[in-house]
Structure 1
Amino acid sequence: MTSLIGLAMCSCSITQTVVEAPSRINIPKNALFISQSGTESNVLQTLIDLENNEMVVLTYNHSNLINVTRTGIILNPNDYKHSVVKGTDAPFEEEVEPPKPAIVEEK
């Protein structure tokens, strides 16, 4: 029984992956995290590079950093320091059939 509980606990554990960017990629060293969004295959994180106040978007596929987009957009970090981070994901709508009209039998 104890091994069953241990197995259940291990399967519920959360793992954390540290992503190391190659040295040739210009990733911000000091940044303010603004938001995170996702698609079916990617996770995108938006940050402010605090060295030059530029908005930067990091794109991850699984645990691999696949793209760093330096937007050239200058933001004021003070506008974002105490804001609540709210993530958004790609819109998903489940197809729902409209209810069928009830059949009323006449007597």
Structure 2
Amino acid sequence: MVRFQEGRISEGMFRSTIRMLIPLDKQSEALEILESVSVQTRCNPNCISSRLYRGVEEVRAIMVEELWTSKEETLRHLQSEEYRRVLLVVEMAEECPEIRFDTIMQSRAVELIASARSQP
């Protein structure tokens, strides 16, 4: 459940993403763990969203994306028992995962498309 309206993200949001290649024979276990963590994470009032994605072109790819109200809340989550379970899945990866932490200072939605398309 996303707790913000499109285009209404306030300054200083923090996004974390992990993209990893999990062997097909371990995907079921990995997804079960990640789904459980994602459900628990979404209950945190400082979590704006927690989502899981699977690759279409690369079937071994799984991505975890979380959006937090602040860097401090992200760091608190990284220290949690829930996040330790995410790290256990990261250890299942066939190669070094892509891990990113981004600060979002501004976010725009469909109004940006409308504005761009109305320009000559």
TM-score range, shorter chain: under 0.3
More helix by share: 2
TM-score (norm 2): 0.22
Q: Could you say which structure has the larger radius of gyration? A: 1
TM-score (norm 1): 0.23
Which fold has the larger relative contact order, with Cα–Cα distance below 8 Å and residues 6 or more apart in sequence? 2
